[in-house]
Amino acid sequence: MKIFLSVLLSVFVLGLLTICGFFAYSMYESNQLNNKSIQANNNQEIEHEQDSNDLQLDESQTNTDSTQTSDSPQNAEECLLALIDNNPTCSLDDYSNQQLAGAYESLIDQGILEFWCHPGGDIGAVKRTITESITNKQNGIVCESGDRGESNEEDDSNVVTRDNVFDYLIEAIDSEEGNNHNLIVFQEPKMKSGYWEIAANNKSGAGSYTFKVYTDGTVEFWNGPMTDMSLSKKVELD
């Protein structure tokens, strides 16, 4: 009988221990699940906060880009107009010499700027040329005929017209040592503001030029895109 009671007591104790162990394990699992849920919620909050910050940064960058786009001129001509109006939203250094030369000539044709004038200066540097013209515009300085060495007295024998423009140009070319106008193909002259513009290229196909022949007989030699002037001389025909 005692043996039976001992066995029964042992079974009861083992069962009690098993039940306690089961409840302890269940509580452990529950805690683990709760921890994982809390961690997941924290991660979601962090990700949401990061997404919000990224969105704010993107909106800020977009606004900045929009502001810069709206404030900055879109092309070289608009840049020159902005500089004329003392609105320094751009720099001449932002554009190539060819872009600046094209914009400069366009504004001259529109009558917004006058051609560069400075006695004894070198107009070969297009940026310096434009800066000088803009300064003249802002200060109301008008290029007088004498600013390019022209005579204030009219000389009918020295007025360049469509009929004799090539006579002046050929005289200017051939008067320079090593030059020969027969090696050059000339295009039709175009009348600009106070001068004839003639595009040309070598018959060999290498090299292009732009010649400007002013009504007073002054001839200028420019490279093709008109970013550099190599020669300016006054021609008088016999």
Q: What confidence category does residue 12 fall into, taking pLDDT thresholds of 50, 70 and 90?
A: confident
Q: Are 214 and 145 in contact (CB under 8 A)?
A: no
The pair of three-digit structure tokens given for residue 122, joined into one six-digit string: 């070198």
Structure tokens at 71: 């404030």
19 confidence band (pLDDT: 50, 70, 90): confident
Do 165 and 196 meet the contact criterion of CB atoms below 8 Å apart? Answer: yes
Whether residue 82 contacts residue 73, with contact meaning beta carbons closer than 8 Å, is answered with yes
Q: What pLDDT score does 57 carry?
A: 63
Give CA–CA dist 236/67, Å, rounded.
55
Of 128, 87, 122, 120, nearest in space to 104 by CA: 128
Name the percent of the chain lying above pLDDT 70.
68
> In sequence order, what are the beta bridge partners of 232?
220
Sign of CA dihedral 225, 76, 107, 139: negative
- What does the radius of gyration of the chain's CA atoms come to, in whole angstroms? 42
195-202 vs 229-234, strand pairing mode: unpaired
CA dihedral 195, 196, 199, 204 (to 10 degrees): -110
- Which of residues 86 and 187 earns the better pLDDT score? 187
Token digits of residue 159: 């007025």
CA dihedral (180, 186, 191, 197) positive or negative: negative
Cα separation, 8 vs 14, in Å, equals: 10
What's the pLDDT tens digit per position in 102-137? Answer: 888 788 778 787 766 554 444 456 777 788 778 777
Residue 134 near residue 118 (C-beta atoms within 8 A) = no
Both tokens of 20, joined, read 């306690």
Strand partners, 234: 218
Q: Would you state the pLDDT for residue 172? A: 93
Residue 94: pLDDT band by 50, 70, 90 thresholds? confident
